[in-house]
Chains A and B, each alone.
Chain A
Amino acid sequence: MASRVVKVDREALAKAAGPFSVRAIMVGLRVTSRHFFRNLWGWIIGKPTIATVMYPEEDVVKPPAFRGMPVLVEMDNGKERCVACGLCEWACPVDCIHIVPDETEDAIERYPQLFDIDMGRCMYCGLCEEACPEEAIVMSDRVEIAAFSREGTLWHKDDLLVPVDRLARRLEYVRRSYER
């Protein structure tokens, strides 16, 4: 690939900055030490002002409007709410949902025998959630999709199921935002 090469003479640059470089260091040090002492004080009196959390041991609580990975709602009986209607599969702009429907003896008649989402391809757009007539797929607050293989980013139905009460906030939010 042809590209433009810019030669940088770092030594000359440092020389030209001269005494000012020392000043910049001092400015930086002042900012960090101010935070250090303020946080130290806050920690001593039990009112930390710091925004950093100890991820992954700790996690921030995301607002309900946050769109993380789409997950499937698991009802209290341990089954999915999804009836394999295929609307999310159709709505998904990147075609990362794959469903194989089948018949069940339950009154609901249909269920997804297979429900896969390729999280490596999902772009968290939330269109699947908007399309779903059953409130069966919602955007969660989960964001960790790292895996050691490509297969690892393919989430199957069992990986996707999340108990309904853990999704209560989002479900409430969805109901409000799609209400007309």
Chain B
Amino acid sequence: MSDASTGQKFENPVTVTIDGRAIVAEKGDMLLQVALDNGIEIPHYCYHPKLSIDGSCRMCQVKTGAPKLAIACNTPVVDGMEVDTQSEDVAKARRGVMELLLINHPLDCPICDQAGECYLQDYSYGYGREEARTASPRRKGLKRHPIGPRVVFDQERCILCRRCVRFTNEISKTDELAVFGAGDHSHIGTAPGAPLDNAYSVNTADICPVGALLSSDFHHKRRVWFLEETQSVCPSCSKGCNVKLGMFKNEIQRLVPRRNDDVNETWMCDHGRLNYAFAQDETRARDAVVRGEAANGSSPVVSTDDALKEASAKIRATIDAHGANAVGILGSGALTNEEQYHLAALARDAVGTSNLDVIVPTGEADGFLIQAEKVANARGAREMGVSPGESGKDVAGMLAAAAAGEIKLLYVIGSNALAEAVEADALQAAMDNVDTLIVQDTNVGPWADKATIVLPGQVWAEKDGTFTNHQGRVQRVRRAMSPTEGSYCDGGLFTRLGALLGGKDPAGARFDARATLAEISEKVSGYEGMSFERLGSLGVVLGEAAPASAPAETEEGSAPAEPA
């Protein structure tokens, strides 16, 4: 984000006048960005704040006092510059660019996924002609071409802004896309045998200003104007890329990245973008289950309250017979900080075991966005105290102890993540030897099917709370989906289980994320001053929320604007 919108001081301030408005900017910043930062709209296609300047579309031309119009995206501001973005010759230039772009543009808007968030559509309202002046038929091109496994390409709609080419060149550094041909024959393409296939490929669909590159996953799925967007964080690794969840009728339709210069700039990886089906498909665990003698009749499905009672009875019986350390609790890195806090309290105070750890499936990291820890909140979990207590055991230790018969009861939050994180043999040996397996998970799976008690959890999109990413940035997750009627979030399960173990009425043990965060901000070091309001849309780094070190942004009263 440029200096102007964060209210910071400029090193070399210059004053430019745009449409009669005096604006202070950093010397050498590009005029287009300065205008955008100050809320002045200059139509543009090829300029993208995170890519190099191309200057190919000519849409951003403005009058700067030079004899000819200048492209704002590649004109550095200098002191005393007078800019006119509204004069008749500027409008005429824009109309000219639009007419040329539309000569060969198909009338595809009704079947084009970009419609509703298309630059070309938007600017057509302002600068398009109603009728074409050319008689020749529109040029034909590839339609619905799978240019890569996750991206569809429509050549007719391309306006050759080269944003996608620059992306594969500068950001993903994979160079799949290039402009082939010259002049009127120019077109975007890939080399034979080298499709657009990299870990970040769908970002090209986001930055394509028209509907030429589209996400195959979202293709013809839903009109964008029907989506309700909720600001959230990607749950698929500890980077915590900022995203928007596009919802329709309580279902996630797509994830798109949201700009946060300190985390993901304006990108996200394909895996994270496409990893949301688990939140709503038929594998979701919706019912609480109690198996074995305690089950009533043939159906093991019980109410969550009954399953919680049964769980607390089993835990109590295990503590009484073998001591608290015969209970092992394997926490999930997918839960919010607030829930982790209650999990730690449950293990420490209500159960009294020191065998507590967070399950962290790991994988490849790539040095850009993708992190090795494949859950969003492993760091938060550890900081909230979900880690082995004194002489307590970690995940591997607990499994070994269970296999050796020392741990009699395993309480696994996230059995599928556990299966991913540890060796199958070690897991099998542990499961064979425990007396009681309690599984709390969002999705069913082989271990949930075998568990004595299953407690249905909720996915991140159903919760309000915070995640702490690998850099220690605390970020807000917001509820986008309504959870199943009558279900409890994982935090609610912990508070109720804690109440039951303490002999209290579970109905009084409601989980309140906001109040929990207030408590965390008092008790956990680094989290001082954290609150949902303080985190805002971009999050705050640990230790920086306290009022003493607080915001430079209050100076001009401007919180960082939410960039497009």
Name the A residues within 8 Å of B223 (CB-CB). 85-86, 89-90, 101
Docked-complex contact B225 and A90, CB < 8 angstroms: yes
Q: Which of A50-58, A102-110, A119-127, A169-177 contacts B (4 or more CB under 8 A)?
A: A102-110
Q: A109 vs B221: C-alpha distance in the bound complex, in angstroms? A: 12
Q: A117 vs B464: C-alpha distance in the bound complex, in angstroms? A: 36
User: Within the complex, what minimum Cβ distance (angstroms) separates B97 from chain A?
Assistant: 24
Chain B: interface residue count, which band? Answer: 10 to 19
Q: Is B226 an interface residue (CB 8 A)?
A: yes
Q: A134 vs B109: C-alpha distance in the bound complex, in angstroms? A: 11
Question: Within residues 105 to 156 of chain B, which ones have a CB less than 8 A from any CB in chain A?
Answer: 109-111, 115, 130, 143-144
Known: A86-B225, A86-B226. A101 touches B109 (CB 8 A): no
Q: Is B220 an interface residue (CB 8 A)?
A: yes
Name the B residues within 8 Å of A84 (CB-CB). 220
Contact of B111 among A89, A90, A110, A180 (CB under 8 A): A110
Name the A residues within 8 Å of B143 (CB-CB). 107, 109
Q: Is A87 an interface residue (CB 8 A)?
A: yes
User: Within the complex, what minimum Cβ distance (angstroms) separates A113 from chain B?
Assistant: 10
Q: A158 vs B558: C-alpha distance in the bound complex, in angstroms? A: 55
Docked-complex contact A103 and B115, CB < 8 angstroms: no
0 or 1 for each of A62-93: is its CB under 8 Å from B? (1 = yes) = 00000000000000000000011111011000
Q: A180 vs B130: C-alpha distance in the bound complex, in angstroms? A: 10
Contact of A85 among B115, B130, B219, B221 (CB under 8 A): B115
Chain A: interface residue count, which band? Answer: 10 to 19
Contact of A110 among B130, B220, B225, B226 (CB under 8 A): B220
User: Within the complex, what minimum Cβ distance (angstroms) separates B353 from chain A?
Assistant: 50
Contact of A103 among B109, B110, B219, B226 (CB under 8 A): B219
Docked-complex contact A109 and B225, CB < 8 angstroms: no
Q: A134 vs B225: C-alpha distance in the bound complex, in angstroms? A: 19
Docked-complex contact B110 and A87, CB < 8 angstroms: yes
Q: A180 vs B131: C-alpha distance in the bound complex, in angstroms? A: 11
Q: Is the interface of B mostly helix, strand, loop or mixed?
A: loop
Docked-complex contact A85 and B225, CB < 8 angstroms: no
Docked-complex contact B110 and A133, CB < 8 angstroms: yes
Q: Which of B110, B115, B143 has the most CB of A within 10 A?
A: B110
Q: A168 vs B241: C-alpha distance in the bound complex, in angstroms? A: 54
Name the A residues within 8 Å of B225 (CB-CB). 86, 90
Q: Is the interface of A mostly helix, strand, loop or mixed?
A: loop
Name the B residues within 8 Å of A133 (CB-CB). 109-110
Name the A residues within 8 Å of B514 (CB-CB). none
Name the A residues within 8 Å of B220 (CB-CB). 84, 101-103, 109-110
User: Within the complex, what minimum Cβ distance (angstroms) separates B219 from chain A?
Assistant: 7
Q: A109 vs B109: C-alpha distance in the bound complex, in angstroms? A: 12
Q: Is B222 an interface residue (CB 8 A)?
A: yes
User: Within the complex, what minimum Cβ distance (angstroms) separates A112 from chain B?
Assistant: 11
Name the B residues within 8 Å of A103 (CB-CB). 219-220
Q: A103 vs B217: C-alpha distance in the bound complex, in angstroms? A: 12
Docked-complex contact B221 and A134, CB < 8 angstroms: no
0 or 1 for each of B11-26: is its CB under 8 Å from A? (1 = yes) = 0000000000000000
Name the B residues within 8 Å of A86 (CB-CB). 223, 225-226
Q: A101 vs B222: C-alpha distance in the bound complex, in angstroms? A: 7
Name the B residues within 8 Å of A110 (CB-CB). 110-111, 220
Name the B residues within 8 Å of A90 (CB-CB). 223, 225-226
Name the A residues within 8 Å of B110 (CB-CB). 83, 85, 87, 110, 133-134
Q: A131 vs B366: C-alpha distance in the bound complex, in angstroms? A: 48
Q: A180 vs B110: C-alpha distance in the bound complex, in angstroms? A: 20
Q: A109 vs B222: C-alpha distance in the bound complex, in angstroms? A: 14
Docked-complex contact A109 and B144, CB < 8 angstroms: yes
Q: A84 vs B222: C-alpha distance in the bound complex, in angstroms? A: 10
User: Within the complex, what minimum Cβ distance (angstroms) separates A98 from chain B?
Assistant: 10
Which residue in chain B gives the minimum CB-CB distance to A90?
A: B225
Which residues of B approach A to under 8 Å, CB–CB?
A: 109-111, 115, 130, 143-144, 219-223, 225-226
Given known contacts A83-B111, A85-B223, A134-B110, what 10 new A-B pairs fall within 8 Å (CB)? A83-B110, A84-B220, A85-B111, A86-B223, A89-B226, A90-B223, A101-B221, A101-B222, A109-B144, A110-B111
26 contacts between A and B (CB under 8 A): A83-B110, A83-B111, A85-B109, A85-B110, A85-B111, A85-B115, A85-B223, A86-B225, A86-B226, A87-B110, A90-B223, A90-B225, A90-B226, A101-B221, A101-B223, A103-B219, A103-B220, A107-B143, A108-B111, A109-B111, A109-B143, A109-B144, A109-B220, A110-B220, A133-B109, A134-B110
Listed from nearest, the 5 A-B pairs whose CB atoms lie closest are A85-B110, A86-B223, A103-B220, A110-B111, A109-B111
Which residues of A approach B to under 8 Å, CB–CB?
A: 83-87, 89-90, 101-103, 107-110, 133-134, 180
